[in-house]
Structure formats: structure tokens, C-alpha cells
Amino acid sequence: MSQLNIKIPRTMDDNAGYFLLSVRCENGLIETIHKRESSESVGFSKTLINCSKMMYKDIGYGEGSIKNLKDYETPSDWTSVIMGSSKSDLVNFICLNYRG
């Protein structure tokens, strides 16, 4: 898994910064960890991305420190991106730059 700290460009400003921390490609899917920083909180999300379908699945979350990032017992269903959302920006950035 690549260790990164790359700012993810946003299409809409929500007064937070999003940073890609890691990327791992396996079996046509891409697993990412990214951080959302605002003046009020820091959150860490683990997301599974299917670039061929432009869909994602939330598979983990934690607040405050990456050490608090835990996998969900039951990940979300596969979800289509909603243009302008932070997940849409993540999926588009990953599929443009890291698609195997």
C-alpha cells in the first residue's frame, strides 16, 4: 500500500481539506484511505472503488487519529457517485490517476 499525503482537488468548497493517504489496487478494485480536515474535526475514511463502474463502497471510518480507523462490520452497498460530492471527487481523482 502506497503511503501518500496528496491533496484531493474539490469541485465544491465545504471548508475542509481532503488528502489521499494510501492506495492499494487488487483484483480490479482500488482501496483508499483519505483524511478530511476541517477547523472542527479530522476524519479518516477507507473506501473501495470500482473505476470501471464509477462506484464506491465505504468500508471503514475513524476520527481524530488514523489509529482510530476501523473497518465496518458491514460495509456499505456499492454506491454511484453524486457529482460535486467529496466521494465523487475522490472516485474521479483515483480513477484518473491510479486506475491499473
**Mean pLDDT of successive 10-residue stretches along the chain, which has 100 residues:** 81 90 94 95 97 96 96 95 92 88
* pLDDT score of 12: 86
Range of the domain at 73: 2-97
State the greatest distance between any 2 C-alpha atoms of the chain, in Å, as a whole number: 37
Report the distance separating Cα 50 and Cα 80, nearest Å.
Answer: 10
CATH number at residue 87: 2.40.128.710
Q: What is the pLDDT of residue 72?
A: 96
The whole model's pTM is what?
0.90
Predicted local confidence at residue 2, as pLDDT: 53
Q: Provide the domain count of the chain.
A: 1
Instruction: Quote the distance between the C-alpha of residue 81 and its chain's center.
Output: 12
Write the CB contacts of 89 (distance below 8 Å, at least 6 apart in sequence): 8, 9, 10, 11, 18
pLDDT score of 23: 95
Q: Which residues contact 86 (CB under 8 A, 6 or more apart)?
A: 10, 14, 18, 36
At residue 14, the pLDDT reads 80
